[in-house]
Amino acid sequence: MTTPNEWSTGLCDCGKDCSSCCLTCFFPCITFGRIAEIVDKGTTSCGVHGAFYAILYLFTGGECIYSGKYRSKLREQYMLPDQPCNDCLVHCCCKLCALCQEYRELKHQGFEPSLGWEGNLTKQSSEVMMPLFDPAEMKLFGHYKKLKQKQKKNPFLENQNSLKIPSILKKKGQSRDEGMEEAEKELERRSKFLSNLIQKKKASDQQNLHLQLNIKVKSSDMPIVLQNKAFKCAKDHIDSTSPENGIKIDSKRLALALKKEFDMSYGPAWHCIVGTSFGSYVTHSIGGFLYFSINKVYVLLFKTSVDPTVH
| More confidently predicted of 103 and 131 | 103
pLDDT digits (tens, 9 = 90+) for 233-242: 888 888 887 6
What CATH number does domain 216-303 carry, 3.30.360.10, 3.40.50.2000, 3.40.50.300, 3.30.740.10? 3.30.740.10
Domain boundaries, the chain: 14-115, 135-203, 216-303
28: cis peptide before it, omega within 30°?
Answer: no
Q: Is 133 exposed, middle or buried (0-12, 13-18, 19+ CB in 10 A)?
A: middle
Report phi then psi at 298, rounded to 5.
-100, 140
Supply the pLDDT for residue 51.
Answer: 93
Supply the pLDDT for residue 145.
Answer: 59
Supply the pLDDT for residue 311.
Answer: 47
pLDDT digits (tens, 9 = 90+) for 60-78: 888 999 999 999 999 888 8
Handedness of CA 261, 263, 264, 265 (dihedral sign): positive
pTM over 0.75: no
